[in-house]
Structure 1
Amino acid sequence: MNAGHRSESVPNASRLRIAVLAGGVGGAKFVRGLRQVAPEATISVITNTGDDLWLAGVRVCPDLDSIMYALAGVNDAERGWGRAGESERVSAELAAYGAGWPWFTLGDLDLGTHLARTSWLREGATLTEATARLAARWDLGVSLLPMSDDPVETHVVTEQGTMHFEEWWVRHRAALPALAFEQVGADRARPTPSVLGALASADAVLLAPSNPVVSIGTILGVPGLRDAVVSSSARIVGVSPIIGGAAVRGMAAQCLAAVDVDVSAAAVARHYGARVDGGLLDGWLVDTVDSAVVPELDSEGMRAVARPLYLSSLEQSAAIARDALAVALG
């Protein structure tokens, strides 16, 4: 870590209210770093639920679970998803019966989460309530909030037909060119009171380095949610998921291509837009390799800052979170 790029706790963090918009793995790493530097802050993580699906009779919420497992310290860091120390006996039985998706493996421990969630949903709990009950088992240090209690599922339009995002992502590894993304049910969805309250009371609103199209974009696509973000009195600061013209992880490049956005830190910043011009961003963190774009983004109304952005360790994640907070609170 270079000089001046530290991860000490943020002063007076106990008074801070921070709202984070996040997807799965990248969002989980960022939020772990944020918790490290602001352990006494009230942190609300508004999470994408567009990846959610019904599978073999249970409700699966990939991004909510990825963040919960990572913050609880029980995630499989090597695979990047699911629980550490998993077995897959139930999935093997489902495959033998021809049930579910054989290419979408649910670990036995993970299935426990999905079964608990499904039982509460079928008893009438909202997704927010079910998520809180799951999170209560762990010492997460944040409030984990679904973007909506209403079901929204991201579907991908390809030349071979329209499919659930997880089928495109996991089964096909995004090898089928995406023609468009559809958020099925978004027109009927609404942000929850918890989400609206977190945004209204926030001292800082942060966009994690998650996929700008199918994670952050899906969250912002819930009617009323983008307006709630923009109307917040807090500064809105994002962290680029693109470093040196490439996605840090996942298939963000394929997603950006589908919406005609170049794979660059500057292009994603402009995709979100400067708040002074009706967009979202007051500030934007880019990696040091992209420092040349800082003056031009500054001139467009976004306070741009160049910092090392690889989330390769908890210490580095914490340093990035601290830098994002510094821009939001400075």
Structure 2
Amino acid sequence: PDLDSVTYTLAGMGDLERGWGLRGESWTALGQLGRLGAETWFQLGDLDLATHILRTERLHCGRPLSEVTRDLAERLRLPIRLLPMTDQAVTTRVHTRDGRDLHLQEYLVRESCRPEIASLEFRGAECAQPGPGVMDAIRDADLVLLAPSNPIISIGPILAVPGIRAQVAAAAQVAAVSPIVSGRAVKGPAVAMLAALGLPASPAGVAACYRDLIQLLVIDELDR
């Protein structure tokens, strides 16, 4: 799941109606960018932009993502320890059937999930290493719970980092919550992405993504 969405939600600042970003947003900076000729399809509000400016500045100064994330979590007084999957860059790319190579946000936001998916790539994952504390946290957990996020583009990149999938598989107990209810995704393009992998848009398709990992899959009453 998205680091910022998790951070904002746990800090009690997230916009739950919109499903992303911060409550009480304004869009002055984005409006000015549009007036200056910039593309504005990626909607970042003024409050959200502050997070991105600060994080980008610190990353450019050589600080690792895990350290920057820890600092932001402390500033916002999160009640938990938030660990990025890796300190290396991993980018989700969507290869479409019409031959385009799109960044995930281009596919989700600019293209509104319209292009038919040929394949997905987690570029850089094969060279990445688990972030500080990630493997220990999985190993020491009484229960590893895979949230009802998209199993392909939210949980998938995490499991693609070498070592993490095996560590989850070796955990004492692993459960997942299905993001598919009665053939529809709770949020986002999970149905289309399951179909692109030849999997059914159902809890069975979710279970197939996690077939070597979980002992329990939590499903909705409608899917019993």
Separation (CA, whole Å) in 2 of partners of 1:111 and 1:130: 15
The answer to whether 1:200 aligns with 2:139 is yes
CA apart distance, 1:125? 1.0
- SS of equivalent residue, structure 1 residue 136: helix
Equivalent of 2:219 in 286, 291, 296: 286
Equivalent of 2:48, from 97, 107, 110? Answer: 110
Partner SS state of residue 134, structure 1: helix
Matches of residues 123-138 of structure 1 in structure 2 within 5 Å?
123-138=61-76
Q: 2:109 aligns with which of 170, 173, 176?
A: 170
* 2:172 matches 1:239: no
3-state DSSP of counterpart to 1:92: helix
Alpha-carbon distance in 2 for matches of 1:193, 1:104: 30
TM-score, scaled to structure 1: 0.66
Say whether 1:225 aligns with 2:158: no
The amino acid of 2:198's aligned partner reads D
Task: Give the Cα–Cα distance (whole angstroms) in 1 for the partners of residues 151 and 165 of structure 2.
Answer: 14
Partner Cα separation in structure 2 for residue 231 and residue 125 of structure 1: 31
Q: Which runs of 5+ in 1 are unaligned?
A: 1-22, 24-62, 274-278, 292-330
- Displacement of 1:267: 2.3
Q: 2:92 aligns with which of 144, 149, 154?
A: 154
Choose between structure 1 and 2: higher strand proportion: 1
- C-alpha RMSD of matched pairs (Å): 1.2
Deviations 1:210-248 (A, max 9, x none): 00111111111111110111122x200011111112211
The structure with more radius of gyration = 1
TM-aligned CA deviation for residue 160 of structure 1: 4.6
Q: How far did 1:271 drift?
A: 2.6
Secondary structure class of the residue paired with 1:163: strand
Equivalent of residue 121 in structure 1, options 34, 59, 62: 59
Corresponding residue for residue 267 of structure 1: 205
Q: Taking every aligned residue pair, what percent have the same amino acid on both sides?
A: 46
Structure with greater contact order relative to length (CA < 8 Å, sep ≥ 6): 1
Report the secondary structure of 1:179's partner residue. Answer: strand
Q: CA deviation at 1:290?
A: 1.5
Aligned residues: 223
1:182 to 2:182 alignment: no
Q: Compute the displacement of 1:139 (Å).
A: 2.5
Deviation above 4 Å: which 4+ runs of structure 1? none
**Equivalents in 2 of 1:207, 1:173: separation in Å?**
26
Match of 1:79 in 2: 18
SS in 2 for 1:215: coil
Q: TM-score, normalised by structure 2?
A: 0.96
Paired with 1:284 and 1:154, the residues of 2 have a C-alpha distance of 26
* SS of match in other structure, 1:78: coil
Q: Tell me the SS of whatever aligns to 1:90.
A: helix
Residue in 2 that maps onto 1:251: 189
Question: Using the alignment, how far apart are the partners of 2:19 and 2:99 within structure 1?
Answer: 28
Q: Deviations over 1:38-72 (max 9, x none)?
A: xxxxxxxxxxxxxxxxxxxxxxxxx1111111111
Aligned mates of 2:32, 2:186 — CA distance in 1: 35
